[in-house]
């Protein structure tokens, strides 16, 4: 009797790569430890947002791309690039700026830039250029693009607006809400098309890398693949409104609209794949025909320079940011008394960076929640507290902006939950002034964070039970009544 045995293929790493890869692995482990907050935040977004679920596939795809392109390394030897250390400096400064501005996506992109500098520094420009596709594909690990949501909402609303005019359907538009005789449709954040756009970008880059060799064809396909989903989402939204018109019910037309969106997007991607096939250039594998070489490994000292210097930069900026944040959080906030016409409620929440929230029951069924933070708090905890308290993080929350005359600020964020059970108005109070929160607000907070300011930044959220039609007038009257106006908030902030 004979026994048949099979061998598992062994991955043989050339001797000239072993030292460099060992040093690189240790340096990447240090970077992962230093930037663990960015990694955790990214994974949380991947899990919570359908726009970024595909990010779980990015790392395996990058590994596969590197394996598919291993033939390109046959004639190359790592040659550490000391100049990459200088390349890491602007990314380190960018990370520190993003941290002070409270922009997590900026921190993640800057951290990824430092990782790219590390790869270049340890492996050298020739090896990095050969593996540029899998290395740069790692950028899609960063869940960026959220800032595009308002623009996508506006484009989709305008597209439906134009489509209804062409179809001759009577309608009325206010904000991101479109009303027809059969009911109202709201272009929510989840319906803005971001999930399709981000996935389309990641897919189109992968498809272009695999199918095309020409840079022109790759860029052309990516541009088409990015543009088409945005327009297609406009047609999808228009189709839902038209369907509601034909069925005589907005609710009937919007039933399972998310499922319809996935099916529609899948069809669009399939069409894009078919469009790209006639122009394919994938007949030759990357690196085919390159002769193997047997060159000595680079000196360990040369590999260690960028592997030590770049994580060293990361240690400095993360440590500096931690010291500043710890000093701010060590200052206890001063909790205010209930303003005239309101009664203090129990159950105030605590937030990171030393934030505290107090709740008041006020006239006409309005509940006011005031979240106060130490004077040198960076923007992120303040903005996060506002989103949580205003129910903006609720799944399928409807978010709009309303202007309120004789109020500070004049522009407020309006949030209505999916089942219309709660409606909130929210804004910020920073440096003695009301604001709805923008880049200028973040800059003011960052300045106070670095150089100090005596006032406590405040997130204020006013809530009323019920749908928008009944709750919004109560909330607007409360804001205009100045129960918690500039003078009262100014005393709370001191």
Residue-wise pLDDT tens digits, 359-415: 888 888 888 888 888 887 878 888 888 888 887 666 666 777 888 888 888 888 888
> Is 62 in a helix, a strand, or coil?
helix
Q: Categorize the per-residue pLDDT at 128 as very low, low, confident or very high, splitting at 50, 70 and 90.
A: very high
- For residue 262, pLDDT over 80 is answered with no
What is the average pLDDT across 336-347?
83
CA distance 292 to 74: 4
Reference 292, options 460, 77, 493; nearest CA is 77
Of residues 159 and 444, more confidently modeled: 159
DSSP codes, 301-363 = HHHHHHHHHHHHHHHHHHHHHHHHHHHHHTSPP-PPPPPTT-EEES---EEGGGEEEEEEE-G
Confidence class for position 299, pLDDT limits 50, 70, 90: low
pLDDT the model gives residue 91: 94
pLDDT at 220 over 70: yes
Phi, psi of 362 (to 5 degrees): -115, -175
**Which structure tokens are listed for 215?**
């840079």
- What are the beta bridge partners of residue 172? 179
Within its chain, how far is the Cα of 487 from the centroid?
35
Residue 150 is predicted with a pLDDT of: 82
When mean pLDDT is compared across 93-102, 193-202, 445-454, 485-494, the lowest value belongs to 445-454
* pLDDT over 90 at 212, yes or no: no
pLDDT at position 256: 57
d(CA 229, CA 288): 35
DSSP string across 422-474: EEEEEEEEETTEEE---HHHHHHHHHHHHH--SSPPEEEEEEEES-HHHHHHH
Predicted local distance difference test score (pLDDT) of residue 302: 66
- What pLDDT, on the 0 to 100 scale, is given for residue 480? 83
| Contact assessment for residue 214 and residue 281, using Cβ atoms and an 8 Å cutoff | yes
Whether 299 and 81 have beta carbons less than 8 Å apart is answered as: no
Res. 1 pLDDT band, cuts 50 70 90: very low
Of 112, 107, 95, 138, nearest in space to 41 by CA: 107
pLDDT value of residue 311: 92
Do 27 and 307 touch, CB atoms closer than 8 A? yes
Q: Residue length, the chain?
A: 494
- Give the mean pLDDT of 215-229: 87
Q: Is the pTM here over 0.85, yes or no?
A: no
**Is the model more confident about 227 or about 16?**
227
88: its two tokens = 């890491």
pLDDT at 10: 56
CA distance 233 to 163: 13
Angle between helices 215-247 and 149-167 (to 10 degrees): 60
- Give the span between the Cα atoms of 37 and 325, in whole angstroms: 14
- pLDDT at residue 298, rounded to an integer: 58
Count CA atoms closer than 13 A to 436's CA, side-chain side: 13
- pLDDT of 9 above 60: no
- Cα-based torsion angle of the residue sequence 135, 139, 140, 141 in order, rounded to the nearest 10 degrees: 100
- pLDDT score of 332 more than 50: yes
Partners of 466 in the β-ladder:
none
Inform me whether the pLDDT recorded for 290 exceeds 60: no
Average pLDDT over residues 108-119: 95
pLDDT at 291 over 50: no
Determine the average pLDDT of the residues in 100-121: 92
Kindly tell me if the per-residue pLDDT of 485 is higher than 60: yes
Largest CA distance in the chain: 95
Contact 364, 457 (CB under 8 A): no
- pLDDT in the model for residue 393: 64
Q: Stretch 412-427: mean pLDDT, rounded?
A: 80
pLDDT for 188 equals 74
What's the mean per-residue pLDDT of the chain? 82
- Measured CA to CA, the distance from residue 343 to residue 366 in angstroms comes to 11
Confidence class of residue 58 from pLDDT cuts 50, 70 and 90?
A: very high
The percent of residues in the chain predicted with pLDDT above 70, rounded, is: 86
Residues 410 and 402: their CA atoms lie apart, in Å, by: 8
Is residue 435 over pLDDT 60?
yes
Residue 111's pLDDT is: 95
Question: Is residue 373 a contact partner of residue 351, using CB atoms and an 8 Å limit?
Answer: yes
Mean per-residue pLDDT, 202-216: 87
Percent of the chain with pLDDT over 90: 16
Query: Which of the residue ranges 93-102, 113-122, 269-278, 388-397 has the most confident prediction, judged by mean pLDDT?
Result: 113-122
């Amino acid at each position: 009797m004979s026994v048949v045995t099979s061998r598992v293929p062994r991955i043989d790493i050339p001797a000239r790569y072993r030292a460099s890869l060992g040093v690189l692995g240790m340096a990447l482990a240090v970077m992962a430890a230093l930037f663990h907050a960015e990694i955790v935040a990214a994974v949380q977004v991947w899990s919570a947002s359908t726009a970024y679920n595909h990010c779980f596939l990015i790392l395996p795809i990058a590994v596969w791309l590197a394996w598919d392109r291993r033939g390109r390394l046959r004639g190359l030897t790592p040659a550490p690039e000391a100049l990459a250390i200088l390349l890491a400096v602007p990314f380190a400064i960018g990370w520190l700026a993003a941290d002070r501005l409270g922009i997590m996506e900026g921190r993640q992109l800057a951290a990824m830039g430092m990782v790219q500098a590390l790869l270049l520094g340890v492996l050298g420009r020739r090896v990095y250029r050969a593996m540029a596709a899998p290395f740069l594909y790692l950028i899609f690990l960063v869940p960026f693009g959220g800032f595009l949501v308002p623009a996508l909402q506006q484009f989709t609303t305008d597209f439906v607006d134009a489509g209804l005019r062409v179809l001759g359907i009577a309608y009325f538009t206010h904000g991101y809400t479109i009303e027809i005789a059969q009911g109202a449709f709201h272009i929510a954040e989840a319906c803005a098309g971001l999930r399709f756009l981000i996935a389309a970008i990641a897919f189109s880059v992968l498809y272009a890398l695999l199918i095309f060799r020409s840079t022109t064809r790759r860029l052309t396909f990516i541009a088409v693949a990015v543009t088409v989903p945005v327009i297609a989402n406009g047609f999808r939204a228009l189709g839902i409104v038209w369907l509601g018109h034909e069925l005589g019910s907005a609710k009937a037309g919007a039933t399972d609209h998310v499922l319809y969106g996935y099916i529609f997007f899948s069809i669009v991607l399939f069409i894009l794949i078919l469009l790209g096939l006639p122009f394919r250039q994938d007949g030759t594998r990357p690196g085919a025909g390159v002769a193997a070489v047997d060159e000595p490994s680079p000196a360990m000292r040369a590999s260690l320079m960028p592997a030590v210097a770049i994580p060293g930069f990361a240690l400095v900026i993360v440590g500096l940011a931690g010291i500043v944040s710890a000093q701010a959080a060590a200052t206890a906030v001063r909790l205010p008394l209930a303003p005239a016409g309101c009664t203090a409620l129990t159950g105030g929440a605590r937030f990171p960076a030393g934030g505290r929230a107090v709740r008041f029951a006020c006239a006409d069924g309005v509940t006011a929640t005031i979240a106060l933070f130490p004077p040198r708090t960076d923007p992120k905890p303040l903005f996060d507290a506002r989103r949580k308290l205003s129910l903006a993080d609720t799944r399928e929350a409807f978010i709009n902006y309303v202007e309120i005359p004789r109020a500070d600020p004049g522009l407020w964020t309006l949030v209505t939950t999916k089942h219309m059970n709660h409606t909130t108005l929210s804004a910020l109070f920073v440096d003695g002034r009301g604001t709805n929160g923008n880049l200028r607000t973040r800059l003011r907070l960052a300045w106070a964070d670095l150089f100090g300011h005596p006032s406590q930044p405040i997130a204020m959220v006013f809530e009323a039970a019920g749908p928008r039609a009944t709750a919004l007038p109560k909330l607007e009257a409360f804001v205009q009544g100045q129960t918690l106006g500039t003078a009262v908030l100014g005393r709370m902030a001191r």
